[in-house]
Structure 1
Amino acid sequence: LCPQYLGLNLDREELQDSWQRTYGVPGKEQFTAAMDLIQTKFQCCGASSGSDYTLSWWKIRELAPPTLFVPLSCCILQEPIEFLDPKPLNTNICQDSNVDKFRSARYLEGCFERLE
């Protein structure tokens, strides 16, 4: 999962752009599963933060359920190894729009730093 071990350079803007254009898009299930694995394994959300999803095709094209602000893999899970079928400890709090509420149920840090 560490790009430098594969001889790849990691660029924040490219990662964020790929994340926003590809996550949750039909036909891109492998990318989505890989990002879900990263988010659960490294306890992070999005490339920079969960706000990356606000402008993602996943949200804009309404591929996400309307009640989700971030994927369930951004939430603190009952079983972190279940990234393909994530079950948050508290979905309602994780998906709240108020940072003071969701900070206790959602990963706040972006994944870019964790992948460097």
Structure 2
Amino acid sequence: MFKHDLPTAVPTLHNLKKTIDHFLSDSITLNSIDKIGAASEFEAEVKEILKGYRNNSQVYNLDFQYKKLIQIITDIHNLNLAVNNEIPEWLESELGVVFHKIRNILLVLEIELN
């Protein structure tokens, strides 16, 4: 039986995406970027899943993609401060790609581990 509730991890990802979308549209202050980091609910979900399923390559991929997501957000934050709030289109695109990868990994894990 799967110990972690992956169906709730997907809505958590959607909430995280909404926070990032607001950040990208400048409707949230730059200080709100902290919500996206290690203290986020999704980060806690990833850590719990990683603890319970160390031998699953999809779980490691999930952890890697989440770290990549945090790095992209950090890059956006730093560029936002350095270049008059202009975010390169390629970086926004990369952010979307990582979100899709995370969502797909969650769906695969839900099927594999339930």
TM-score class, shorter-chain normalisation, is 0.3 to 0.5
TM-score by length of 2: 0.33
Between 1 and 2, higher relative CO (CA 8 Å, sep ≥ 6) is seen in: 2
TM-score by length of 1: 0.32
Larger Rg: 2
